[in-house]
Chain A
């Protein structure tokens, strides 16, 4: 059960890996994305993105600015203008 997660900035591809869950800070509330999530597009707040590599592991926080998330059959893609961490 893995979700393919990609984090892309204009300068480079920051992450491209399989993770368990990602918590995404949408403008209308945070939501978690697991494998098999329904297709969605959401604008993001300037807030940390939480990534769980495996179930029960400590989440890793990545600060995103100017973000946009797209969930499709291929996984979760986050486009961000700036990324920290």
Chain B
């Protein structure tokens, strides 16, 4: 059995760990509220844009002359996987779940004879993906310099991806991020972003009124496509942020509880050892007194 001093040391060390996990849990809870508010604030724009895109896509027929972002390159050989991770750990399996989804997709594409490239956003996904696919790095975007990824970051990422697309570096792009369902559930999600999938649920204008387009439909569509891509990336970043905080909160709650259990166990052990030491001492004294 460990001696009393060692046990005391261990109890203290677990206690300070518990303080850290508890603090991180509370920070995550506060940040989660903020991230959710940000996601909420972004909804009107995304909703409006999707509505406009849907009504436009319904009017324009996809042909050879359509913008490449919509029509595609006509091939599906090279796939770009855009993987959005966070910069910080202490969030349970949040990052590894996204990485796992991306690697599974990469293996599947590779088995089908396609070429896979990675574009990494955030710090935490870099190491495992670089290790698994050292030859397939198309680039990454560092979000560690900003406190919170915002629309400016989404814009830069989208510009870089579109530039690569226009240079013919890839044919199809998929985006990996974690969808925020609740503080307990985050779902790794994959979504095709290039060529831009036509928004489903195209709402047909019931009024049937003729809408004036200025300039014409095709030009508007071409102008809106990159914006739509940015909005999707921005949405993914926001979802990711909320998911990260949610995952972090749950993981830290578990860690705090585990630390509490461990402290209880160690305290019992400590008390038992102390009791045993006292009993031994008493026996020695009594035995000594009897011998006289």
Contact = CB atoms under 8 A, between A and B. Distances in A.
A11 B212 contact: no
Interface string A10-42: 111100000000000011100000000011111
B211 A39 contact: yes
Interface band, chain A:
20 to 34
A10, A42, A66, A73 — which one has the most chain B CB atoms within 10 A of its CB? Answer: A10
Contacts of A6: 44
Contacts of A68: 52, 220, 223-224, 227
SS class, residues of chain B in contact with chain A = helix
Interface string B30-70: 00000000100110111011001000100000000000000
A43 B219 contact: yes
Contacts, number: 78
A66 B227 CA distance: 8
Interface string B218-237: 01100110010011001000
Given A10-B231, A11-B151, A41 B45 contact: no
B118 to A, nearest CB: 26
Nearest to B207: A73
A11 B45 CA distance: 8
Interface of A: 6, 8-13, 26-28, 38-43, 66, 68, 70, 73, 77, 79, 81
Given A13-B44, A42-B213, 19 more contacts: A6-B44, A8-B44, A11-B38, A11-B150, A11-B151, A13-B41, A27-B214, A41-B56, A41-B213, A42-B214, A42-B220, A43-B219, A68-B220, A73-B209, A77-B48, A79-B45, A79-B48, A79-B49, A79-B52
